[in-house]
Structure 1
Amino acid sequence: MLVHALVNSARSFRRTSLLSNNQRFYATTRTTVLNSSWRNKASVAALGATVLAFGVLSAKEVYCDAVLEDKKRRTEGPITDSDPMRLRMEAFVKGLQNRIVSDIEQLDGKQFTRTAWERSEGGEGITCVLQDGNVFEKAGVGISIVYGQLPKAAVEQMRHDRGKEISADGPVPFFAAGISLVIHPHNPNAPTVHLNYRYFEIENPDGTPKMWWFGGGSDLTPSYLFEDDAIHFHQVLKDGCDKYDKKYYSTFKQWCDKYFFIKHRGEARGLGGIFFDDLDDKPADEIFSFIKEMGNRFSLSYIPIMKKRMNMKYTNEMREWQQLRRGRYVEFNLVWDRGTKFGLQTPGARIEAILMTLPLTARWEYMKEPEEGSREEDLQEVLKNPRDWIPLN
């Protein structure tokens, strides 16, 4: 699901030039979504994440006013609260990416490699990658801002996979913006972490949103169980959720536990966090404030854990266990993650970009089970029976 996968896959997009005002044509669209509750629109939201991550476009050309109007607005000065949500989300994820990259670089001592791209049709992205660092084996932090078109085939794919009643006469103009990261440390005592926050809207021909929603979340995946780390991570997330809705943490925590579950293993991928899709239950400004709150809490949730664990001693046996746990991480991403599966089936997608979430190294051993009473067994017990690390109410 990594948003920064779009950076490389964008190179495969068919290049076209923007038309002048008197040449521009509009794509009229009809999109029907039955039952507009969060979960009944989840397939549309997941599709939005997929489009953002992998840059899915159909062969036809579709334009709307949003591309040119937003480009003009950027040249006029700083983005303010009176601007369209598209531009406000774009400004936020760019700033958040810079802050997170700076925090990780200070911890590691090695700088990220940055790759930037632009699309003539509208949109841009930046991928920041740190590989073989002093603390982190692999870290990727990417942003994408994309104007494009939502193909009917993409909607049909999500309807088939998720069983949702969605129909669309396309192509449908859309906008997507978001930030996504995955970080894999060297030390087996230190946990892997994932974060993704995004905004998606389907456009009217005049550039106003026909439909919009937010999605995202953050979760922790350790190789060894430190209960205080799990409590700290979840408490930081809950404190942010509680500022906006006392039901958010409980709902999104359970959603996370359900989504990041390796069904063929009967265990969770990690210790969870929060996860949500197609969030539109409140005014857009209010949800945007919530998204900013949660994004800005990343360093608070993760950096203190890393500072405690990154220099701890470990054995070769612990390293082997870490490799086995990373194997489970790979299994989830390749077998169950909706964005990864959709991207791998998308013509023209850049495979290297789609697999950016995976660690540099992993291991699979036949019939490997942890020893009874071991620390490895302690972690496996929690993964098979997810806990509520802090009170849900």
Structure 2
Amino acid sequence: MLPTVSASAPSSFAPLIPSPSHTPSLLVGKGNSLSFPSSSKISRWQPHFSPLRSPLSMRPAAAVSIEKETMEAERPDTFLRESETGEVRARFEKMIRDAQDSVCQALEAVDKVGKFKEDVWSRPGGGGGISRVLQDGAVFEKAGVNVSVVYGVMPPEAYRAARSASTDQKPGPIPFFAAGISSVISHFLHTCSVSAVSAFCLVSSGYSSQSIMCLWCSTMQVLHPKNPFAPTLHFNYRYFETDAPKDTPGAPRQWWFGGGTDLTPAYIFEDDVKHFHSTQKKACDKFDPTFYPRFKQWCDDYFYIKHRGERRGLGGIFFDDLNDYDQEMLLAFATECANSVIPAYVPIVERRKDMPFTEQQKAWQQLRRGRYVEFNLVYDRGTTFGLKTGGRIESILVSLPLSARWEYDHKPEEGSEEWKLLDACINPKEWL
């Protein structure tokens, strides 16, 4: 019997559903303007969400747009302005670019055949990005590792919501910066947080008195191996910062960190999953013993496919809006998490990449990749935002697998390895 949960998803999942009416606007212009149960009676899982700063009633209606990128012949030393090179944002950009280099080198060493194709792009208003994709390799069907930096403007409503400020507080143009390593431009504009798939930095000048200058930077990675026994990996880490409003003297500069790393296998090898989660926990425990359980739960909550009643995979860690710790500590934490990606993932791929498999097992992998596509195109806030705002389409969709599969009313046989994976996606487990 197929593992089941209640047909109606808990109401607390509502904030995860992309909704134009809940999406703060971003205006960007040129220059500076811009266990697996033995019974079919599976208890309903009750989600837990960390609080979000953004009130769901916030419905600004301004337009959303992003400048068209220009392809460049070579990558610059930095996508930031010279005056910013000594700030936290500059160190974060360096960290994510170093992570991009180390991850790409490690993946090419594993694949031995495939090589990353690199595209470098910029935007007239400042910033740009580096997109690297390995496709049709010996081990990886598709691997994307992106970094981007873009300048723009955020609305005053988003600033007030992010600060939990009163509605009668005078807003002003507020510059912001966000940097990170990620696989999606996530839900900053949906929840006033900093999630992102690519590295984005947004800043502007030439704004109205009601607009807020901003800078957003992040990097993204999604790895889809060929062998169905080797899992897909996604990670992202990012930083976001605003300057004080020009017409509100004394207003504080706001900043947040966000990110996460998660595993999406087609088949469960408990040793692999435990190794992955223990590596995440080790990185978290160096800074706060509450981080891993808190962010593991958050990850299970976020990657929920509501219309399927299941999670995309077997989780990992996910966090956003972190600014209640020392800034330097959180920068070190994000760096530690990014540096843990290779030791968490590469040993698993090395163990599984050459295992023999059947056509049926490959078909199951393709079905699970169909779920991956569904989540990214329907629920992932970064992807849906990018599609609505005219962002760089190749960067937005780089997280999608090269191939996927949908079958009508497919149900794995009860007790099969496929059934076990589905059950773990419906009922998240504690792996450690």
Q: Name the TM tier (shorter chain).
A: 0.7 to 0.9
Distance between the aligned counterparts of 2:28 and 2:258, measured in 1?
Answer: 28
Question: Percent identity between the aligned chains?
Answer: 47
Equivalent residue number for residue 328 of structure 2: 285
Q: How far does residue 176 in structure 1 lie from its aligned partner after superposition?
A: 1.5
1:188 aligns with 2:231: no
Q: Give, in angstroms, the shift of residue 376 of structure 1.
A: 0.7
Any idea what SS the aligned residue of 2:253 has? strand
| Matches for 1:36-47 after TM superposition, within 5 Å | 39-41=51-53
Deviation per CA, 1:22-52: give whole Å up to 9, x if none. Answer: xxxx99xxxxxxxxx97232689xxxxxxxx
Q: Is 2:344 the counterpart of 1:301? A: yes
Q: Tell me if the contact between 2:50 and 2:298 (Cα under 8 Å) persists in the aligned partners.
A: no
Instruction: State the secondary structure of the residue aligned to 1:340.
Output: helix
CA distance in 2, matches of 1:327, 1:217: 22
Q: Which of 388, 394, 399 does residue 357 from structure 1 map onto? A: 399
Counterpart residue number, 1:232: 275
C-alpha displacement of 1:334: 1.4
2:131 counterpart of 1:89: no
Report the residue type matching 1:278 in the other structure: D
Query: Could you tell me which residue of structure 2 aligns to residue 250 of structure 1?
Result: 293
Partner in structure 1 of residue 116 of structure 2 = 112
Higher alpha-carbon deviation: 113-122 or 138-147 = 113-122
Are 2:257 and 2:320, in contact at CA under 8 Å, matched by a contact in 1?
A: yes
Matched, 1:200 2:240: yes
1:131 has 2:135 as partner: yes
Distance 1:154 1:313, change over 3 A: farther
Partner of 2:126: 122
Cα distance in 2 for partners of 1:273, 1:296 equals: 15
Residue 315 (str. 1) matches residue 341 (str. 2): no
Q: 1:297 Cα deviation (Å)?
A: 0.5
Closer, same or farther in 2 for the Cα pair 1:115/1:344, shift >3 Å? Answer: same
User: For residues 153 and 357 of structure 1, do their structure 2 counterparts lie closer, same or farther at Cα, with a shift above 3 Å needed?
Assistant: farther
Q: Does residue 16 in structure 1 map to residue 26 in structure 2? A: no
* Structure 2, unpaired ranges of 5+: 1-26, 35-48, 57-63, 69-78, 162-186, 194-207
The 1:163–1:133 alpha-carbon spacing in structure 2 relative to 1, beyond 3 Å, is closer
Offset, 1:371:
1.3
| Per-residue CA distance 1:72-102 (angstroms, 9 max, x = gap) | 357xxxx6xxx21111111111111101110
TM-score, structure 2 as length reference: 0.70
TM-superposition CA deviations, 1:210-230 (whole Å, max 9, x none): 211010000000001111111
Alignment of 1:375-390 (within 5 A): 375-390=417-432
How many residue pairs get matched? Answer: 331
Q: Alignment partner for residue 372 of structure 1, among 403, 407, 414?
A: 414
RMSD, aligned CA = 3.2
Change (3 A) 1:98 1:161: closer
Unaligned runs of 5+ in 1: 1-12, 19-25, 28-36, 45-54, 60-68
CA offsets 1:151-173 (integer angstroms, 9 cap, x no match): 569889x7996699xxx974211
The residue identity in structure 2 corresponding to 1:298 is V
1:111 aligns to what SS in structure 2?
Answer: coil
Q: 1:170 to 1:316 in 2, by over 3 A?
A: farther
Q: 1:211 to 1:263 in 2, by over 3 A?
A: same
AA aligned to 1:369 is: K
Post-superposition Cα deviations, 1:288-325, rounded to whole Å, max 9, x if no partner, equal: 00000000000000000000000000000001111111
* 8 Å CA contact 1:58, 1:151 repeated in 2: no
Question: Structure 2: how far apart are the matches of 1:58 and 1:112?
Answer: 26
- Change beyond 3 A, Cα 1:389–1:118: same
Pair 129,154 (structure 1): closer, same or farther in 2 beyond 3 Å: farther
Q: Are 1:58 and 1:149, in contact at CA under 8 Å, matched by a contact in 2?
A: no
Partners of 2:30 and 2:368 lie apart in 1 by 44
Q: Which runs of 4+ in 1 moved over 4 A?
A: 55-59, 151-156, 158-164
Separation in 1, partners of 2:394, 2:306: 25
Q: Which residue of 2 aligns with 1:33?
A: none
Please point out which of 146, 149, 154 is paired with 1:150.
Answer: 154
Cα separation, 2, equivalents of 1:231 and 1:145: 35
**Which amino acid is the alignment partner of residue 382 of structure 2?**
G
Cα distance between partner residues in 1 of 2:336 and 2:55: 25
Query: Alpha-carbon deviation of 1:146?
Result: 2.4
Could you tell me the TM-score, scaled by structure 1's length? Answer: 0.77
Please report how far the alpha carbon of residue 58 of structure 1 lies from its aligned counterpart in structure 2 after TM superposition.
Answer: 8.7
1:277-296 Cα deviation digits (max 9, x unpaired): 01101111110000000000
Cα distance, 1:42–1:292 mapped onto 2, change above 3 Å: farther
Aligned to 2:315: 272
Report if aligned partners of 2:115, 2:134 keep a CA contact under 8 Å in 1: yes
Structure number with greater CO (CA < 8 Å, separation at least 6) is: 1
1:178 aligns with 2:218: yes
Deviation readout 1:239-271 (Å, 9 max, x if unpaired): 010000110001000000011011111111100
Q: In structure 2, how many angstroms separate the alpha carbons of the residues matched to 1:203 and 1:38?
A: 26
More helix by proportion, 1 or 2? 1
